[in-house]
Amino acid sequence: MAMVKVGLVLFLCYASSFFFVGMKANIEEDKDNGKDLIHNMCMRTLFNDLCVSTLESDPRTDLKSNPRGFIQILIDRATVNATDTYNYIADLVKKPTDKWTIQCLNWCYESYGHGFRVLKNALGLIDFKDYLGYRVLNMNIGSFHSDASNCEWCFTAFIPPHKSPLTGRNNYLVNISRIALEIVNLIECNHIESCQEAIAPTVG
């Protein structure tokens, strides 16, 4: 069941590149100032407000001038929050609770441990030059997305479902990684002729 869910999440992440039909393709050639570029990109994601607030609050102005810098900001933010969640889980497992909650917490602890590794890999792939590089970056971010999603899913898999103490943290990391995936897909779409033809330029 868990493997089916992981596969579904990765499929949805990859398929998200087709969500952007009707939008401008030449994103890496956009010379807008940082704030305009942030709003231009974030409006193409499923979590526009979170995307804007995350990117605008980052103090590194050099990373706000291009979409690849956005990916680094998002991965860095995910890493910081995943680290905090990882440490929080380590504290939770020391407290008395039922065995099923402990089981899920241990699974989540292992999942986020894996998540750190794939996020580190993803940072080294941001400047991908070809389709293979894109796919590997997509798979690494998608893997982290699945780690956070499956952590939350564990608590709902029992009958009756258990209340997750990590819902807010997991959902935040799922959404942040989804935004990163969507921006990665937009960058790759910019390099595919058929995708460019399917995407009409924005007016203005």
- Tell me: the pLDDT tens digits for 174-202? 999 999 999 999 988 866 554 542 333 23
Q: What is the CA radius of gyration of the chain?
A: 18
Say which CATH superfamily domain 66-204 falls into.
Answer: Invertase/pectin methylesterase inhibitor family protein (1.20.140.40)
Q: Is the peptide bond before 96 cis (omega within 30 degrees of 0)?
A: no
pTM assigned to the model: 0.79
Residue 11 is classified by DSSP as H
Q: What is the mean pLDDT of residues 19-31?
A: 45
Alpha-carbon distance of 114 to 78, in angstroms, equals 13
Q: What is the pLDDT of residues 104-156, one digit of tens each?
A: 999 999 999 999 999 999 999 999 999 999 999 999 999 999 999 999 999 99
Domain boundaries, the chain: 66-204
* Token output for 22: 């009707």
